[in-house]
Amino acid sequence: MDAKTPLGQEAILLSYEAIKKFEAHYKDRLFKIVTTQQWEPAQLDGIIVSGDTIRATVEIKVRDFSYAMLLDRFNGEWLMSFSKLRAGMAAHAIHGVGMTGLLYCKSDKKLVVARLINNEGQIGLPTRLDSTETQATVNGGKAHRVNAFIDIRKCMVID
């Protein structure tokens, strides 16, 4: 993501809204998200900690649709580059923790919380892979890559 553009800046601000929503929901478990530097590319967006302990890696995405549209138009599937899931598996091999995905639906401000990589280092939700052309970044462009279509219909949704 090119964080220096207006669209990139908006995506960063909305990702912080998602983080605040997640942390408020889990305040009794003292979960906090520590992000990577937003202006530098990173394979994952950060880690979830509780006290001094890493609990998970995290990938945060903001999408310009409602949760209802995600279920209807996109069949309850979260499209993510498969390289992100591979990065989560690699992080598991290093840190021994799973990967949580936060999908923030901009239109209705609902937050989907998905266990993308489980504690065994495997993909944690029903997922299909397909090589497709999609938007490259928040700023546009096209990218042809292997994408994961992750079934999030049974995931927690925070209002």
Each residue's pLDDT tens digit, 39-78: 888 999 999 999 999 999 999 999 999 999 999 999 999 9
Q: Does residue 61 contact residue 70 with C-beta atoms inside 8 Å?
A: no
Each residue's pLDDT tens digit, 4-27: 888 889 999 999 999 999 999 999
List the CATH code of the domain at 6-158. 3.40.1350.10
Domain regions of the chain by residue span? 6-158
Average confidence (pLDDT) over 88-92: 98
pTM: 0.93
Buried b (16+ CB within 10 A) or exposed e, 87-100: bbebbbeeeebbbb
CA-to-CA separations, 140 to 1, 7, 92, 130, 157, in angstroms, rounded: 10, 10, 31, 20, 28
